[in-house]
Structure 1
Amino acid sequence: MRVIAGLHRGRRLLGPRGQAIRPTSDRVKEALFSILGERTTGARVLDLYAGTGSIGIEALSRGAAHVTFVEADRQALRLINSNLEQCGLQQSANVCACQVSQFFRRATQWSGPYDIVFCDPPYQLTPELITMAQEWNAGWLADDAVVIIEHGKKAEIPQTLGLLSQVKRYDYGDTALTRFHVTAKATQSR
């Protein structure tokens, strides 16, 4: 695994041992940041099911202002912290050691509202994420926020998730990315 572009381009990141953590492939990571384009610069990013932290670190390398990493697995948390330290990015990040469901039950916003939310749950947890997303609070998201879910190609992803509307789905082999934006109705109700 490596950082693809930006300030830390080419930097190698520590990866997992075994199959417990499934990092996003470089091909899908490149596609993700192509989809996001210049939106990453200055963004506040939420990386759910962060794994090794490679997506959030890529965002920081490309100019994101801050990333909040949410991860429960101890091995993954060690990898995130080691990779942040190796890149000297600890000051631009919060690492939340908890389940995603716990993160959203807490009253603290950590460092939101978020401009970009990336969700890469273990594929068997995609339905659980979809259920949680139906109830996300509009205050956690910036008015023009983009939410991207990485999931298995065969997963059924609804057109709307609470205050989010699906914009487009991108398929890459067995992996897919689905992009959502905050609905105009949600931003008017703030």
Structure 2
Amino acid sequence: MRAERRPRRKRMKTHAATVIGGEFKGKAIEIPSISTTRSSKAILRESLFNTLQFELIGKPFVEVFAGSGSVAIEALSRGASKAWCIEKNREVYEILRDNVERIAPGRIETVWGDSFEEFDRIYRRLEEMKERAYFYFDPPFSIREGMEEIYEKTLGLLEKIRPQHCELAIVEHMSSVDLPDRIGSLSLEKKRRFGKSTLSYFRPAEPDEA
């Protein structure tokens, strides 16, 4: 008797982006075409990495709400030593993992789970490594159903970051949202607005600011 074939799960729709610069320049990144996740716009990513320039070389990078992993992949392409990506949506996570395995196998650790639950585990790894890392937060927009407290919860994660483990924390957020100038031991350095999205850069506060 012929075995019955299991129906193949339909893969979610994607569109393509490319790595802007560095080692993987021009390589294609699959971006999920769904409303619950989004990839940072190319112009925004380009501004981010123009700002960071060579700071990333040899430093760990953590993309907390990863989606496709486009920012972490770009960071690794620009010289980051290692990266972590956290993604909650299972289908998006599969796309993230495919991107990593195709572009940078073995160099980015992907984590499937809730960013608010998994962040502590990755942070403990950085503590053990005694490393100062770059953190990128791109939480889902708070206007989405069930996400009303997303920024408040994200600020809670930022408050956990200690100066000895942080070079810089960048938050991509709605331009209509004003983040505090001080979050825990981090101090707002500058903002860059791109239409509806803004990048806010936080560095560990100087001793006289503490």
- Residue 114 of structure 1, CA deviation: 4.0
Residue aligning to 1:172: 194
How do 1:72-151 residues align onto structure 2 when only pairs under 5 Å count? 72-87=88-103, 89-106=104-121, 109-111=124-126, 113-124=131-142, 125-134=150-159, 136-138=160-162, 141-142=165-166, 145-151=167-173
SS of the residue corresponding to residue 151 of structure 1 reads strand
Q: 1:114 to 1:97 in 2, by over 3 A?
A: farther
Computed over aligned residues only, the root mean square deviation of the Cα atoms, in angstroms, reads: 2.0
Distance 2:163 2:115 in 1: 17
Percent identity at matched positions?
23
- Cα distance between partner residues in 2 of 1:107 and 1:175: 26
Measure the CA separation in 2 of the matches of 1:42 and 1:137: 20
| 1:22-72 residue CA offsets vs partner (Å, 9 max, x unmatched) | 110101000110111111111100111011000000011111110011111
**What's the secondary structure of 1:130's corresponding residue?**
helix
Question: Which ranges of structure 1 fall in alignment gaps of 5 or more residues?
Answer: none
State the 1:86 CA deviation. 1.2
Name the SS for the 1:79 alignment partner.
helix
Identify the residue that residue 14 of structure 2 maps to in structure 1.
Answer: none
- TM-score normalised by L of structure 2: 0.80
**Partner Cα distance (2:96, 2:201) in 1:** 25
**Cα deviation, residue 149, structure 1:** 0.2
Rounded to whole Å, the distance in 1 between the matches of 2:59 and 2:122 is 22
Per-residue CA shift, 1:98-133, capped at 9, x if unaligned? 212212344862346342111101021223201332
Counterpart amino acid of residue 92 in structure 1: R
Distance in 2 separating the partners of 1:167 and 1:139: 14
Change beyond 3 A, Cα 1:165–1:11 = same
Q: Unmatched 5+ residue regions in structure 2?
A: 1-16, 143-149
SS of aligned partner of 2:18: coil
The amino acid across from 1:115 in the alignment is A
**Larger-Rg structure:** 2
Aligned partners of 1:68 and 1:110 also within 8 Å? no
> Aligned equivalents of 1:83 and 1:107: distance in 2?
21
Query: 3-state DSSP class of the match of 2:19?
Result: coil
Aligned to 1:8: 24
